[in-house]
Chains A and B, each alone.
Chain A
Amino acid sequence: MNKKAISLMVRAVIAGAMISCAGLASATVYTQCPGDLNADGDNTDAGEDSTVKCMHLSGGDGYIKMADDRPMYMFGFGNMTGIPDSQVMSEGVLSAEFPAPSISLKQGQPFYLTLSNTGMVMRPDLFDPHTVHFHGFPNASSVFDGLPDTAIAINMGASLTYYYNVQDPGTYMYHCHVEATEHMQMGMLGNLYVHPNQDGTPIEYPAASGRVYDKFVYNDGDGSTGYDVEVPIQIGSFDSRFHDASEGVQPLPFAEMEDNYPMMNGRGYPDTTIAGPLASVDSYLDAGIPFKPARQTQKVDTHIEATQGQKILLRLSNLNVTRFYSLNTLGIPMQVVGMGAKQHIGPDGKKLYYKTNSVTLGGGEAIDVLLDTADVAAGKYYLYTGNLNYLSNGDEDFGGMMTEIIVN
């Protein structure tokens, strides 16, 4: 019997023990969503009142496929919104996505986010709780901050509903904060952004230019953050040695952690040029891993496409845990209009916007940039990391943190 088969057998035994233990607890999946009439965690079915926004995430483990066709074990969040509570523990098995399901909010719409801990099936030795940290949420309460040390975290088989009165537009991010170095290196990270009240009000900018916008990054009052095309891009990177150690139930190399798979929205170039979800990783996984056939776990693309004359908003954020990255554009300057979910203006409204060809983000930083295609020729441009050694996928010296910008 080979090592992998033994490992799978041991897992099966431990998992069986875990399930019999779980029967003793009172834990249950339980969504709280005002307006939801059929206990499926959303309020968007026929006849339901969808005044407030609801989402339901699983917290657990799963797999994605790297751009060099290597499957990667990870921890993450999956999207359980609309799945009946009673089916979430089974549907949540290996449901982790990378990046986590994007959370798109609107200023003024209260947000009910339920997190159900569906357990780490490939690591039945772990009993880790999970949380959601809404990174950057202003005037936060600690109970909904997701920091396990200062509040509460949800155990396996149970649900915790977070409540946010969303009033400040901008680009945020979210991640699990339990054993943050480990759970974040393992991939519990996602995009989160809030659209402003000013959306829907046409504003011409600059005045008398004939360019009218009805989507904005912030409530700017003058249309200066107006855009036509919105692409949230979260950069990050994995250390495959850390992930392999986790999958193999080995001691984790914290001090030696060094990321070797740089990504945008959970994919390396050239996968970054594919619009829509990536194909399922299932055909790359060993038989015996209970992965739902054809399940897609890399759904957030980095496809940037606009018609000449449009403005592109890139909501750039960084949630890797090991280093700073620069992002550069080739051929189209970036105009920085926001940082850290704040319009980049002084206290009296002075605009601090600036144009640049590179921005540098550490973990937990976000920058809103506008790309104006009015003055550039139609064609293909690039967004890529200026840390050029990260244009790679593992040992493959081609790819990494890079995507294309298509101007038609």
Chain B
Amino acid sequence: MKLLRSFAALTSALVLTATSLTVQAEIMGIEGTTTDGHQKTFNLEAAAAAISTPDGDNLLIWAYGDLDNAATEVQYPGPTIIVHEGDAVTINLTNTDIGEPVSMVFPGMQNVAAVVSNDLGVNGSADRVVLTEEASIGETVTYSFTASKPGTYLYHSGSNPDLQVEMGLSGALIVRPATNPDSQAYNNADSAYDHEYLYFLTEMDTSIHQAVDLGLQPDTSNYHAVLWFMNGRNGPDTMFDHNVAWMPHQPYGSLTRMHPGEKVLLRIIGAGHDMHPLHTHGNHFLQIARDGQVLTSDPANAATVGADLAFGDYTQQVLPGATYDAIFEWTGRNMGWDIYGHTDGSGALCNGVETASDSTDPVSFEDCRYHNVPIPVDLPENLDLTFGGFYSGSPYLGSMESLPPGEGGLNLNGGLFFMWHSHTEKELVNNDIFPGGMMTMLIVEPPGVPIP
């Protein structure tokens, strides 16, 4: 009970922040520099930093950062690299101050060339796992490849990866398709979306970070995670907006917003050591791609055949190193009562008529069969209830009702909130403190509420 309230208190400012900024894209990332629109160059660094976690801890991380933007810091996860299908991509990675050689690998990309441009002659010891060319301190290594296939990908350090990826050296790579690059995940029309969000799932064993911080030999073989992250933050920090000032090395939020009837593209990446079952409250989703490959019976003609092998589920099994694209919708269909709380005689219309009809409203997506049907049960007296901070006071979408003093307050628009989280509920904890961990919220906002 006390814990429940503390969750609300911790999050008291966040929705205000999240809904007041309207200029940011839903997936934050970097698009590099270009002179011809086709050659994309990224200048990245790897450096040490410290992140804060909601249990009050402060952890040493190693992280990638964008050198082309002086205002940004190295960050966890690394900058989301966004390119377009067919782009010739060049990534210059400079090892600023990681105490050992560092590198990048791009699973899913083919024919990646890797060259160290200013070899200082310092190499790592022979007994580390190294998957590609790497940069020692002060060196720069250049990777180049053609982003030939659209999709959601992961990148991470290929140097001593059992330690370096745990330390924070990983990020997302998004390749936008040639067809409708701003509204489709792939070239097939059934990958179209209205909003897209990233869910980059990782975990950390604090003892490893403490050992590195103290200059001790870390033990990655006896791995025991106690912190779980979504886009580099632990709940409830996940629900804050992108780029909040007090988390300079954790710029990416994951609060998800949509209107009824819209399609949300989920780009899900398993970037840690462990498997996580990601559960979407509110509705099923349709998984349309895995590891950048459309789920289709005819890969050569995927653009026209579409994701005909896509399938529905309500919990996505997220495996280490794997990526998934899924489409999520919510309409409130089959609710059995009027989700907007319209009442007889109010004059409110559903698909143009005042009474119930067997149709769907094209704007509100109300299921008109239940137009004007009240909620079928009496809700208990306030004294018998404990209220969540995200409750509007009303069961109806777009409505607000008064709540007892100190209750609610985090729901600005009368939206419906649904939690999206790891269903290994042990991971809803920040190092022994519930609640937190690998979770965020979906807000189904009433029609008309602006969503960036």
Distance A140 CA – B314 CA, assembled complex (angstroms): 12
Q: Which residues of B contact A253 (CB under 8 A)?
A: 432
Contact, CB under 8 Å: A147 / B281: yes
* Residue of A141, A161, A345, A363 contacting most chain B CB atoms (<10 Å): A141
Residues of chain B in range 422-450 having any CB-CB distance to chain A below 8 Å: 422-426, 428-429, 431-435, 441
Contact, CB under 8 Å: B419 / A149: yes
Pick 26 A–B contacts, CB within 8 A, sort by A: A27-B383, A112-B377, A129-B386, A143-B379, A145-B418, A150-B419, A153-B385, A154-B384, A158-B384, A161-B378, A165-B337, A179-B1, A179-B4, A181-B435, A184-B425, A254-B434, A255-B432, A321-B426, A324-B277, A340-B315, A341-B284, A342-B284, A346-B308, A347-B286, A363-B277, A363-B315
Contact, CB under 8 Å: A147 / B418: yes
Give 13 new A-B contacts, CB below 8 A, not counting A26-B384, A142-B416, A158-B384. A26-B381, A129-B1, A129-B385, A135-B314, A139-B333, A149-B388, A150-B418, A179-B434, A181-B425, A185-B425, A342-B284, A362-B423, A366-B315
Of chain A, the residue at the smallest CB distance from B308 is A346
Q: Which residues of B contact A150 (CB under 8 A)?
A: 388, 390-391, 416-419, 441
Cβ of B405 < 8 Å from any Cβ of A?
no
Contact, CB under 8 Å: A362 / B314: no
Contact, CB under 8 Å: A167 / B334: yes
Cβ of B362 < 8 Å from any Cβ of A?
no
Partner of A142, one of B3, B7, B418, B425: B418
- Taken residue by residue from 202 to 228, chain B's Cβ proximity to chain A (1 for < 8 Å, 0 otherwise) reads as 000000000000000000000000100
Contact, CB under 8 Å: A254 / B426: yes
Contact, CB under 8 Å: B4 / A148: yes
A278 CB, min distance to chain B CBs, angstroms: 26
Contact, CB under 8 Å: A141 / B384: no
Q: Which residues of B contact A153 (CB under 8 A)?
A: 385-386, 388
Q: Which residues of A contact B276 (CB under 8 A)?
A: 362
- Taken residue by residue from 374 to 401, chain B's Cβ proximity to chain A (1 for < 8 Å, 0 otherwise) reads as 0111111101111111110001000000
Contact, CB under 8 Å: B386 / A139: no
Q: Which residues of A contact B275 (CB under 8 A)?
A: 324, 362
Cβ of A270 < 8 Å from any Cβ of B?
no
Contact, CB under 8 Å: A138 / B377: no
Q: Which residues of A contact B428 (CB under 8 A)?
A: 180-181
* A contact set with B: CB distance below 8 Å: 25-27, 30, 32, 110, 112, 126-129, 133, 135-136, 138-145, 147-155, 157-165, 167-168, 178-182, 184-185, 253-255, 257, 321-324, 339-342, 344-348, 350, 352, 360, 362-366
Q: Which residues of B contact A154 (CB under 8 A)?
A: 380, 384-386
Contact, CB under 8 Å: A181 / B429: yes
* Residue of A153, A157, A322, A341 contacting most chain B CB atoms (<10 Å): A153
Contact, CB under 8 Å: A128 / B1: yes
Of chain A, the residue at the smallest CB distance from B224 is A255
Secondary structure of the A contact surface, majority rule: loop
Among all A-B residue pairs, the 8 with the closest Cβ atoms:
A165-B336, A364-B423, A362-B277, A340-B313, A158-B384, A143-B395, A342-B312, A150-B417
Q: Which residues of A contact B283 (CB under 8 A)?
A: 138-140
* Residue of A30, A157, A255 contacting most chain B CB atoms (<10 Å): A255
Of chain A, the residue at the smallest CB distance from B417 is A150
Contact, CB under 8 Å: B279 / A135: yes
Cβ of B244 < 8 Å from any Cβ of A?
no
Contact, CB under 8 Å: B380 / A160: yes
B285 CB, min distance to chain A CBs, angstroms: 9
Q: Which residues of A contact B314 (CB under 8 A)?
A: 135-136, 340-341, 364
Distance A341 CA – B335 CA, assembled complex (angstroms): 17
Contact, CB under 8 Å: B336 / A110: yes
Contact, CB under 8 Å: A181 / B284: no
Distance A257 CA – B226 CA, assembled complex (angstroms): 10
Cβ of B77 < 8 Å from any Cβ of A?
no
Cβ of B86 < 8 Å from any Cβ of A?
no
Contact, CB under 8 Å: A163 / B336: yes
Q: Which residues of B contact A167 (CB under 8 A)?
A: 334
Of chain B, the residue at the smallest CB distance from A114 is B377
User: Given A143-B395, A151-B388, are A364 and B380 neighbors across the interface (CB < 8 Å)?
Assistant: no
B393 CB, min distance to chain A CBs, angstroms: 10
Contact, CB under 8 Å: A255 / B375: no
User: Given A148-B386, A152-B387, A364-B277, are A139 and B334 neighbors across the interface (CB < 8 Å)?
Assistant: yes
Distance A9 CA – B155 CA, assembled complex (angstroms): 59
Contact, CB under 8 Å: A364 / B279: yes
Contact, CB under 8 Å: B385 / A155: yes
Contact, CB under 8 Å: A138 / B277: no
Q: Which residues of A contact B286 (CB under 8 A)?
A: 347
Distance A152 CA – B386 CA, assembled complex (angstroms): 6
Distance A113 CA – B104 CA, assembled complex (angstroms): 53
A315 CB, min distance to chain B CBs, angstroms: 14
Cβ of B190 < 8 Å from any Cβ of A?
yes
Distance A148 CA – B424 CA, assembled complex (angstroms): 18
Q: Which residues of A contact B388 (CB under 8 A)?
A: 147-153
Distance A141 CA – B434 CA, assembled complex (angstroms): 25
Partner of B297, one of A126, A350, A364: A350
Cβ of B21 < 8 Å from any Cβ of A?
no
User: Given A342-B312, A362-B275, are A152 and B385 neighbors across the interface (CB < 8 Å)?
Assistant: yes
A96 CB, min distance to chain B CBs, angstroms: 18
Q: Which residues of A contact B389 (CB under 8 A)?
A: 149
Of chain A, the residue at the smallest CB distance from B425 is A321
Contact, CB under 8 Å: A163 / B417: no
Q: Which residues of A contact B390 (CB under 8 A)?
A: 149-151
Of chain A, the residue at the smallest CB distance from B391 is A151
Q: Which residues of B contact A157 (CB under 8 A)?
A: 384
Cβ of B230 < 8 Å from any Cβ of A?
no
Contact, CB under 8 Å: A339 / B313: yes
Contact, CB under 8 Å: B433 / A254: yes
Contact, CB under 8 Å: A321 / B311: no
Contact, CB under 8 Å: B308 / A140: no
Cβ of B412 < 8 Å from any Cβ of A?
no
Q: Which residues of B contact A363 (CB under 8 A)?
A: 277, 315, 422-425
Of chain A, the residue at the smallest CB distance from B225 is A255
Contact, CB under 8 Å: B226 / A141: no
Q: Which residues of A contact B255 (CB under 8 A)?
A: none
Q: Which residues of A contact B8 (CB under 8 A)?
A: 149
Partner of B435, one of A112, A179, A184: A179
